[in-house]
């Protein structure tokens, strides 16, 4: 397999632009939401144009792009107000072959035993699926973690599966599941993905943090092959970070070491098959982590026929 796109998340350090500016709930008015969404979409388009100039074609849009979108106190209809603007950006991204994604945050939990938490998560995933569909209907994804364990992981997984089926068809189609660094590792997430027919985004860094002793490396190729299978005809997506030196072992570094990317590419080469995959770099310095690796990425693209 060969690397297609490298991407980064939510904001651009070089340009000083952020797709997820927000404000306090106390300041919530329809006008404030409208102004903020307009600003975030302008930032998104400027970032996309800069990215294309740098040959970067993969970006995560912040889940705050529409502040309080699923909050009961908000009545702003972003779909009606920004239909044309979203279509413009969608057309630009499509013309340039740009892939987009979103990643609902830590509060979006489908496995929770608390009904109000699950209801909020369903509403959250629903609007983000519609937003993602408006921008990247073909390859857009919503990345989610499996949530908490609550002292009984099998029951939590059952709740996840049950609540997954309560999502809108669009949200079900856009959702993908990621292994985390302390509760649901790849061996938990992969069977869930296979059971639900949901693609799995494999996070190399979380996997390494979880298996710090290295003893999981033996079966890793089999896991990766199954991860790729969960994507069917779609292009698989991976997450990669380097460890922050001296920080907590789960912390992301400012940049991504070329050696860490190379290690991931070596593994993927061993998985085999002539098909592409994308890698989202999760690093503090965002675009600055991707830039030095773009040339590296070009060298690993499949040769043109």
Partner DNA sequence: GCGAGTCAAGGTAGG
Partner DNA sequence: CCTACCTTGACTCGC
Which residues lie near DNA (CB under 7 A)? Answer: 9-11, 18, 21-27, 64, 67-71, 105-109, 111-114, 117, 120, 124, 147-150, 182-183, 247-248, 250-252, 282, 284
Tell me the closest approach of the beta carbon of residue 28 to DNA, in angstroms. Answer: 8
In 3D space, the residue among 126, 230, 234 whose CA is nearest the CA of residue 172 turns out to be 126
Tell me the closest approach of the beta carbon of residue 68 to DNA, in angstroms. Answer: 5
Tell me the closest approach of the beta carbon of residue 248 to DNA, in angstroms. Answer: 3
Tally of CA atoms within 13 A in the half-sphere of 165 that contains its CB: 8
DSSP-based three-state secondary structure for 97: coil
Nearer Cβ to DNA (109/271): 109
Tell me the closest approach of the beta carbon of residue 64 to DNA, in angstroms. Answer: 7
Task: Give the number of other CB atoms < 10 A from CB of residue 144.
Answer: 27
Nearer Cβ to DNA (21/300): 21
| 3-state SS, one letter per residue, for 22-85 | CCCHHHCCHHHHHHHHHHHHHHHHHHHHHHHHCCCCEEEECCCCCCCCCCCCCCCCHHHHCHHH
Quick one: tokens of 147? 């949530």
Nearer Cβ to DNA (16/295): 16
* Neighbour-count burial of 81, counting CB atoms closer than 10 A to its CB (0-12 exposed, 13-18 middle, 19+ buried): middle
Element (H, E) at 237: strand 237-240
Nearer Cβ to DNA (69/86): 69
Nearer Cβ to DNA (27/298): 27
Quick one: tokens of 262? 């190379």
Tell me the closest approach of the beta carbon of residue 284 to DNA, in angstroms. Answer: 6
Nearer Cβ to DNA (4/67): 67
What are the start-end ranges of the H helices in 136-276?
A: 153-164, 169-174, 186-196, 204-210, 220-229, 258-271
Largest Cα separation within the chain, whole Å, is 57
Nearer Cβ to DNA (106/304): 106
Tell me the closest approach of the beta carbon of residue 35 to DNA, in angstroms. Answer: 11
Nearer Cβ to DNA (4/22): 22
Tell me the closest approach of the beta carbon of residue 84 to DNA, in angstroms. Answer: 24
Non-local (6+) Cβ contacts of 190 within 8 A are 179, 200, 223, 226, 227, 230
DSSP-based three-state secondary structure for 289: helix
Quick one: tokens of 92? 């630009």
Tell me the closest approach of the beta carbon of residue 94 to DNA, in angstroms. Answer: 26
């Amino acid at each position: 397999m060969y690397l297609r796109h490298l991407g980064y998340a939510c904001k651009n350090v070089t340009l000083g632009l952020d797709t997820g500016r927000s404000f306090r709930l106390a300041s919530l008015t329809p006008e404030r939401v409208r102004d903020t969404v307009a600003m975030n979409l302008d930032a998104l388009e400027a970032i996309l144009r800069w990215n294309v100039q740098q040959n970067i074609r993969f970006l995560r849009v912040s889940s705050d792009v529409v502040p309080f979108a699923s909050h009961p106190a908000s009545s702003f209809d972003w779909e009606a107000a920004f239909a044309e603007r979203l279509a413009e950006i969608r057309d630009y991204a499509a013309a340039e072959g740009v892939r987009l994604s979103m990643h609902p945050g830590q509060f979006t939990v489908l496995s929770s035993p608390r009904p109000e938490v699950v209801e909020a998560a369903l509403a959250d995933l629903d609007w983000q699926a519609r937003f993602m569909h408006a921008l990247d209907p073909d390859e857009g994804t919503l990345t989610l973690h499996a949530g908490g364990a609550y002292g009984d992981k099998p029951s939590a997984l059952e709740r996840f599966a049950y609540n997954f089926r309560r999502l809108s068809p669009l949200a079900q189609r856009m959702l993908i599941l990621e292994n985390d660094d302390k509760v649901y590792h790849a061996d938990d997430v992969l069977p869930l993905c296979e059971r639900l027919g949901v693609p799995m985004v494999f996070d190399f860094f979380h996997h390494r943090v979880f298996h710090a002793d290295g003893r999981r490396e033996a079966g890793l190729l089999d896991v990766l092959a199954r991860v790729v299978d969960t994507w069917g005809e779609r292009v698989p997506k991976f997450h990669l970070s380097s460890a922050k030196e001296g920080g907590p072992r789960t912390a992301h570094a400012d940049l991504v070491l070329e050696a860490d990317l190379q290690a991931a590419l070596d593994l993927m080469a061993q998985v085999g098959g002539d098909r592409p995959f994308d890698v989202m770099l999760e690093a503090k310095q965002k675009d600055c982590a991707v830039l030095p690796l773009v040339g590296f990425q070009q060298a690993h693209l499949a040769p043109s026929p």
